[in-house]
């Protein structure tokens, strides 16, 4: 059952759910068929994103692209709780993403992305209880593990444990830095800069030679000017190219290092939370922050979500795809087992402004809260929760009370919520 062991980077097993999911994502963007492997909460995020794209008059299409070998680069990152293990897996399957306007066809944005996913499976030898709340993968109705194995109350589908896991909990996209493409771009840049430098240099050198040249006749002065211009222009073009590359590398380095200044504070604060909740981890938190930010930003009105207690800043209205690059935990207060965290998120987002799509670096301040007396549960899904008062399973995405016993349902008692979100 340990077929997803992250140490087995050359093992073919992780390739199966990963590739299946990449195909399902392509299908989702082309036909609107929800990825079967995606967890219910991830499906919810995807649906919210589709609604947002539609409201902006956009459509996103993804095409699966095979890239050389079938090797799967499962990172060494995995985290687990008592029952589940979540593993980051990325592979060589790339995607070409197109964003087009559904109205006037003017907007067209294409980029090559790599996909990284978090796959959830059961820990070796563990078996969750029959009363664990779980959504029916077929009809989406909130249910429990036991009920789904006996046959979903709503659609009657029976499930085996092997059909419920592994599941994809989240996905991340990365810009694909193709070496071949970079070489082509470098060649193009160098040629453009040399030509752009040679032309004015030739003019300058010829003019200089005509007025102050050493040669006896005009033709000789023009020829000397021409050669001098070509040589000087090539040199200037080459120097400009080196400076351009240097500037680009420094900018990229600055982009990559975002958040590094708060590293110590992040580690100390993460440790503080971990002391109260041993199953907390930075990797888990990264996944959680990404999901919550996406839900809040893709939602038409974030305040209707039970996991969000604030409005979304108006600048977020133009975000159509959000990727978390890094996060810093600036401060963390724990009082009466309520944990309030103050974070800075460093993101790379696809924006749609005035009908144009652009990738931008964003910085957001986010405050989050959770009652940490309930330990982190990787299997938690707010699409299927169990009522603490009457035990019934219900969908808690947009409700503030149990629909069966009417008792108030406080989301922060079970999972992290957003209490404030601002662009900085
Ligand atoms: Zn069902
Ligand atoms: Zn209830």
Task: Give tens-digit pLDDT for 190-205.
Answer: 999 999 999 998 998 8
DSSP 8-state symbol, 116? E
DSSP sequence for 208-221: HHHHH--SSSHHHH
What ligand has the least distance to the C-alpha of 135?
Answer: 1
Measured distance CA(25)–CA(415) in Å, rounded: 27
Are 226 and 218 a contacting pair, CB within 8 Å?
no
Tokens linked to 296: 């809040």
Q: What predicted TM-score, i.e. pTM, was given to this entire model?
A: 0.83
CATH no., domain 15-175: 3.10.450
Can you state the angle between helices 179-212 and 218-256, rounded to 10 degrees?
Answer: 150
Work out the pLDDT band at 89, boundaries 50, 70, 90. confident
How do 319-335 and 356-371 pair as beta strands? unpaired
Reference 18, options 62, 72, 59; nearest CA is 72
DSSP 8-state symbol, 206? H
Are 379 and 82 a contacting pair, CB within 8 Å?
no
* Percentage of residues in the chain having pLDDT higher than 90: 26
Query: Residue 376 CA to chain centroid, in angstroms?
Result: 22
Are 375 and 360 a contacting pair, CB within 8 Å?
no
What ligand has the least distance to the C-alpha of 405?
Answer: 2
Tokens linked to 290: 């990404």
pLDDT at 171 over 50: yes
Tokens linked to 213: 């040249």
Measured distance CA(330)–CA(343) in Å, rounded: 5
- Tell me how far the alpha carbon of residue 303 lies from the centroid of ligand 2, in angstroms: 22
Measured distance CA(211)–CA(207) in Å, rounded: 6
Tokens linked to 52: 């947002």
What ligand has the least distance to the C-alpha of 386?
Answer: 2
What ligand has the least distance to the C-alpha of 156?
Answer: 1
Measured distance CA(357)–CA(372) in Å, rounded: 40
In Å, how far are 197, 204, 364 from 212, measured between CA atoms? 22, 12, 61
Tokens linked to 106: 């003017």
Give me the sign of the Cα torsion angle 263, 264, 265, 267. Answer: positive
Q: What are phi and psi of 105, to 5 degrees?
A: 60, 15
- Tell me how far the alpha carbon of residue 40 lies from the centroid of ligand 1, in angstroms: 12
pLDDT in tens, 235-245: 999 999 999 99
- Tell me how far the alpha carbon of residue 404 lies from the centroid of ligand 2, in angstroms: 5
What does the angle CA 299 – CA 303 – CA 307 come to, to the nearest 5 degrees? 85
pLDDT in tens, 31-84: 888 998 999 899 999 999 999 998 988 888 887 776 655 566 665 578 888 888
Q: Out of 56-70, 348-362, 365-379, 406-420, pick the least confident.
A: 56-70
Work out the pLDDT band at 5, boundaries 50, 70, 90. very low
List Cβ<8 Å contacts ≥24 apart for 105-111.
Answer: 106/355, 107/58, 107/352, 107/355, 107/356, 107/357, 109/350, 109/357, 111/175, 111/176, 111/359
Give the DSSP H/E element, type plus range, for residue 40.
Answer: helix 40-55
- Tell me how far the alpha carbon of residue 180 lies from the centroid of ligand 1, in angstroms: 47
- Tell me how far the alpha carbon of residue 134 lies from the centroid of ligand 1, in angstroms: 11
- Tell me how far the alpha carbon of residue 420 lies from the centroid of ligand 2, in angstroms: 28
What ligand has the least distance to the C-alpha of 396?
Answer: 2
Work out the pLDDT band at 186, boundaries 50, 70, 90. confident
Residues belonging to the chain: 424
Task: Give residue 7's pLDDT.
Answer: 39
Q: Which residues are within 8 A (CB) of 311 and not within 5 positions of it... i.e. 6 or more apart? A: 302, 303, 421
- Tell me how far the alpha carbon of residue 306 lies from the centroid of ligand 2, in angstroms: 16
Bond preceding residue 166 cis, omega within 30 of 0? yes
pLDDT in tens, 94-141: 777 888 887 766 567 777 777 888 989 888 878 888 888 888 888 888
Greater pLDDT, 354 or 333: 333
pLDDT in tens, 216-226: 777 888 888 88
Domain boundaries, the chain: 15-175, 179-256, 260-423
Tokens linked to 337: 């087992």
What ligand has the least distance to the C-alpha of 151?
Answer: 1
- Tell me how far the alpha carbon of residue 147 lies from the centroid of ligand 1, in angstroms: 10
Q: Which residues are within 8 A (CB) of 349 and not within 5 positions of it... i.e. 6 or more apart? A: 319, 320, 321, 322, 323, 359, 360, 362
Give the residues across from 172 on adjacent strands: 116
Specify the 3-state DSSP secondary structure of 285.
helix
Reference 312, options 328, 296, 323; nearest CA is 296
Place of tokens 């016993």: 405
What ligand has the least distance to the C-alpha of 142?
Answer: 1
- Tell me how far the alpha carbon of residue 204 lies from the centroid of ligand 1, in angstroms: 78
């Amino acid at each position: 059952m340990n077929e997803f062991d992250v140490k087995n980077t050359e093992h073919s097993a992780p390739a199966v759910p990963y590739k299946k999911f990449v195909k399902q994502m392509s299908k989702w963007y082309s036909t609107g068929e929800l990825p079967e492997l995606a967890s219910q909460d991830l499906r919810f995020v995807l649906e919210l994103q589709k609604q947002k794209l539609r409201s902006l008059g956009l459509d996103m299409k993804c095409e699966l692209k095979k890239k050389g070998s079938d090797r799967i680069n499962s990172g060494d990152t995995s985290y687990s709780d008592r029952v589940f293990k979540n593993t980051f897996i990325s592979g060589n399957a790339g995607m070409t993403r197109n964003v087009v306007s559904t109205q006037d066809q003017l907007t067209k944005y294409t980029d090559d992305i790599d996909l990284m996913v978090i796959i959830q499976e059961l820990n070796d030898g563990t078996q969750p209880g029959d009363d664990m709340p779980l959504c029916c993968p077929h009809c989406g109705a909130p249910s429990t593990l036991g009920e789904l194995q006996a046959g979903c109350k709503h659609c009657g589908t029976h499930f085996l444990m092997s059909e419920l896991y592994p599941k994809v909990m989240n996905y991340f996209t990365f810009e694909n830095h193709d070496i071949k493409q970079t070489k082509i771009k470098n060649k193009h840049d160098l040629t453009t800069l040399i030509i752009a430098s040679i032309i004015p240099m030739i003019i300058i050198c010829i003019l200089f030679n005509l007025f102050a040249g050493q040669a006896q006749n005009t033709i000789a002065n023009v020829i000397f000017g021409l050669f001098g211009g070509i040589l000087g222009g090539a040199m200037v073009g080459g120097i400009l190219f080196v400076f351009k590359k240097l500037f680009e590398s420094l900018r990229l380095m600055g982009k990559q290092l975002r958040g590094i200044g708060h590293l110590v504070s992040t580690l100390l604060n993460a440790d503080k939370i971990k002391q109260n909740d041993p199953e907390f981890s930075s990797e888990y938190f990264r996944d959680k922050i990404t999901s919550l930010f996406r839900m809040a930003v893709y939602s038409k009105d974030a305040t209707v979500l039970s996991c969000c207690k604030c409005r979304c800043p108006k600048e977020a209205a133009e975000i159509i795809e959000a990727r978390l690059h890094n996060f810093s935990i600036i401060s963390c207060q724990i009082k009466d087992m309520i944990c309030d965290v103050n974070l800075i998120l460093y993101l790379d987002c696809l924006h749609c402004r005035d009908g144009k799509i652009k990738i931008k670096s964003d910085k957001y301040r986010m405050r989050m809260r959770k009652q940490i007396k309930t330990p982190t549960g990787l299997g938690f899904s707010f699409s299927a929760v169990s009522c603490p008062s009457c035990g019934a399973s219900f969908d808690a995405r947009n409700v503030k009370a149990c629909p069966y016993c009417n008792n108030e349902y406080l989301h922060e008692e079970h999972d992290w919520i957003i209490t404030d979100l601002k662009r900085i």
